[in-house]
Amino acid sequence: MSLNKNKICIYFSLFFSLVAFAQEVETDSTETKQLDEVIVTATRTVRQLSSLPLPAQLVSKKEIKSVNSLRLSDILNEQTGLITVPDFGGGEGIQLQGLDSQYTLVLIDGVPLIGRSAGTLDISRITVGNIKQIEIVKGASSSLYGSEALGGVINIITENPKYGFNGELNSRVGSFNTLDNSFNLGYRKEKFSVSAFVNSFSSDGYDLNENDALNTVEPFKNHTFNTKLTYNFNENTSLFLSGRYYTQNQDYVASEDLKGESDINEWNAHAKLSHTYNEKWSSYFEFYATRYMADEYLNNTDNSRFSESDFNQLLLRPEIRASYKSSEKSDFIGGIGWNHETLKRTDFSTNPEFNSPYAYLQYDTNPTEKLNVILGARFDNHSEYKSQFSPKAALRYKLSNKIAVKGSVGYGFKAPDFRQLYFDFTNSSVGYTVLGYNAVTIAIPQMEANGELANIVVPISEFENELNPENSIGINVGADYRLSSTVKVDLNIFRNNIEDLIDTRVIANKTNGQNVFSYYNVHKVFTQGLEFNVNWKPSNNLKLMGGYQLLFAKDKAAVDAFENGEVYARLTPSSPSFQLKKEDYFGLYNRSRHMANFKIFYTFERWKLDANLRGTYRSKYGLYDTNGNTYLDEYDEFVDGYSTWDIAFNKTLYKNYTLGFGIDNVFGFTDTQNISNISGRIIYGKLNIQI
């Protein structure tokens, strides 16, 4: 499969400034209004998706159930502009508009998940069994959400109970002895509602390479417990409480001689007291606490301990939000809060503690019936890095009943994580050392005094200032076109300019011949391209959806080097070198130029049967520099492009029973060398019982 190459030029500029205080009670992600295609993540207000001036996508509960997905990674991988990328530890992060997973903030019911041990938040640990809808907002969103929202936000909104007693039981069994069971029970009256959700997920893992003694994914089992409670004291005051607990145990195998276990334990607690003062003013107080703990060990064949590591992260966050509706066409939302974060981790020079108060404000107005304008900003004052001011502006103009244009520009940032600041790790077998930026001034003098260093490459004085957050200006320009009541087309052109990218460099040479590495701000990179979505519903029984992304993701320094004729390559190690041209530079690693998806859903009403076929395509991408010039160019080796296709059937029996059957990855695609998160063909059966 091949797709034509295109070039895109994007230019859009805007500037503004605002400062903060205030937000609202009725507009969080736990909102219970039953409106068609309502989204709350983009503006923290209840908005119709069709009226939003920002690029956003919704995944409904109906779609999640019909495709029989198990984990969040399954469903996100089928959305335009998103691709799940495995990390070295086996987890799956989400790449959005060509930006790494560390630049996308992941929320559950409006509050963040933590536990990025190596920068990646493993979204495969999130079950979809109790999800009401998934909201995806693309583009810098730090004006509302602060750090990690440099590239966008994904908010998983869990289900609220219906009136009376109600429940749901799901069980799915499939290839590799994969078993997923979940139970959701809820009760709701006029003033009170409560729900409980339990999920158990286990698998024997799988092995893509039978020539070695290790499995690609080792056997594992995990459990999720989630509960929510709401109580309305009166028409104006309500209380919301929720709790979530996740635990996982997995075999941990590093080689034939080193085996152990990995354990993850995570809990989240969320409380919110809301009050409406009058028609114009409302507010609420929110408190959120979460802890993520990961422990793993490796034993030798004689069962003696070879290594062990611990990761224990805590986040506490109180926040006060308020909203003020100045008129029928305009309103303000805002808030003030404080993040308190700690981490205890093996191979850290200290037990760090972050404190960061923040404030934000957003103004949403419709000066005319056709024009919507949103202006917002946030200020984060951090104890360990420079304070950040994050502005954003967006507008949408309705040209006619069929077409509307929209654009947004925003500043996003990603704070240096604990690892980049405090890591103090020496590989016991190879002998290299990795130091966090703040650990250098203490560790290097100690290593020099111990006679471990041959010479210092980077003076210690360069580490006396602060490591800057990575930051980006994100620009999105697009149009919504409603060809008819059955066809809609969405186009978005984007560019993200990232500066102060945090990378590693050699700062000293050791006497054992190895190096000492640390982190520093250096690179400027950009991602740009277009996204295209088409939805066609020719009848109540048939729906077709398709999406495409064109992406260019490059390092600006590399672009200059190719333009200046400074880069060379060889076809073989012994062949003469030749100069590369500007067009030979492919871009950043692990990015595909083209990605596409296609979905068709059909309902056979007479038989109470629905069926769907979904396909995704990813063009070639490079993982390594294979010709030794430190860049990814057209003469390197690439992972071939591939497509995967899934099919699912669901048959309803006696109204409350549904039998499901499906095949994921119908044609059994695998890549044993490069792709560890595609296991091959998966055949499964599923049972759903409504209570």
| Residue 215 parent element (H or E) | none
C-alpha distances in angstroms, 149 versus 54, 142, 270, 394, 656? 14, 5, 20, 16, 41
pLDDT of residue 88: 54
Q: Which residues contact 134 (CB under 8 A, 6 or more apart)?
A: 58, 59, 64, 72, 75, 76, 154, 155, 156, 157
pLDDT of residue 31: 39
Cβ density class 151-184: b for 16+ within 10 Å, e for less: bbbbbbbbbbbeeeeebbebbbebbeebbbbbbb
pLDDT at 502 over 80: yes
Cβ density class 270-279: b for 16+ within 10 Å, e for less: bbbbbbbeee
Position 630: which residue type? T
Token readout for 121 is: 């938040």
Give alpha helix (H) positions in 298-439. 418-422
Cβ(223)–Cβ(233) below 8 Å: no
Nearest Cα neighbor of 192 from 249, 231, 140, 151 is: 231
Token readout for 593 is: 């130029």
Which residue has 């994904």 as its token pair? 154
Residues 277-317 pLDDT 10s = 999 999 999 999 999 999 988 898 888 888 888 999 999 99
| Residue 454 parent element (H or E) | strand 453-456
Cβ density class 66-83: b for 16+ within 10 Å, e for less: bbbbbbbbbbbbbbbbbb
pLDDT at 14 over 70: no
Token readout for 342 is: 């700690």
Strand arrangement of the beta sheet that strand 104-108 belongs to: 56-60, 131-138, 152-158, 104-108, 111-112
If you average pLDDT over residues 67-71, what whole number do you get?
Answer: 94
Nearest Cα neighbor of 272 from 257, 260, 288, 258 is: 288
DSSP state of 442: H
C-alpha distances in angstroms, 598 versus 543, 616, 620, 622, 639? 11, 6, 19, 24, 22
pLDDT of residue 356: 94
If you average pLDDT over residues 509-537, what whole number do you get?
Answer: 92
Nearest Cα neighbor of 356 from 377, 375, 342 is: 342
pLDDT of residue 118: 67
Q: Secondary structure of 620-636 in the HEC alphabet? A: CECCCCCCCCCCCECCC
Residues 543-574 pLDDT 10s = 999 999 999 999 999 999 999 999 999 888 88
Position 3: which residue type? L
Q: Give the bridge partners for 639, in sequence order.
A: 621
> How far is the C-alpha of 325 from the C-alpha of 360, rounded, in Å?
17
> How many residues does this entry show for the chain?
691
Residue 6: φ, ψ to 5°: -135, 160
Q: Give the bridge partners for 41, in sequence order.
A: none
Helices (H) and strands (E) in the chain, counts: 6, 36
Cβ(134)–Cβ(152) below 8 Å: no
Other beta carbons less than 10 A from residue 498's beta carbon? 26
Percent of the chain with pLDDT over 90: 70
Cβ(261)–Cβ(252) below 8 Å: yes
Q: Secondary structure of 140-209 in the HEC alphabet? A: CCHHHHCCCCCCEEEEEEECCCCCEEEEEEEEEEEHHHEEEEEEEEEEECCCEEEEEEEEEEEECCECCC
Residues 636-656 pLDDT 10s = 999 999 999 999 999 999 889
Residue 443: φ, ψ to 5°: -75, -40
CA dihedral 212, 216, 219, 225 (to 10 degrees): 170
If you average pLDDT over residues 519-542, what whole number do you get?
Answer: 93
The better pLDDT of the pair 38, 474 is held by: 474
Q: Which residues contact 669 (CB under 8 A, 6 or more apart)?
A: 642, 643, 644, 678, 680
Residues 135-151 pLDDT 10s = 999 999 999 999 889 99
Nearest Cα neighbor of 13 from 672, 473, 620 is: 473
Percent of the chain with pLDDT over 70: 93
Residues 648-678 pLDDT 10s = 999 999 889 999 999 999 999 998 888 888 9
CA Rg value for the chain: 26
> How far is the C-alpha of 567 from the C-alpha of 632, rounded, in Å?
11
Lowest mean pLDDT among 33-47, 201-215, 289-303: 33-47
90 — pLDDT class (breaks 50, 70, 90): low
Position 494: which residue type? F
Q: For residue 400, with 0-12 CB atoms within 10 Å meaning exposed, 13-18 middle and 19 or more buried, which class applies? A: exposed
If you average pLDDT over residues 57-74, what whole number do you get?
Answer: 93
Cβ(323)–Cβ(24) below 8 Å: yes
pLDDT of residue 1: 36
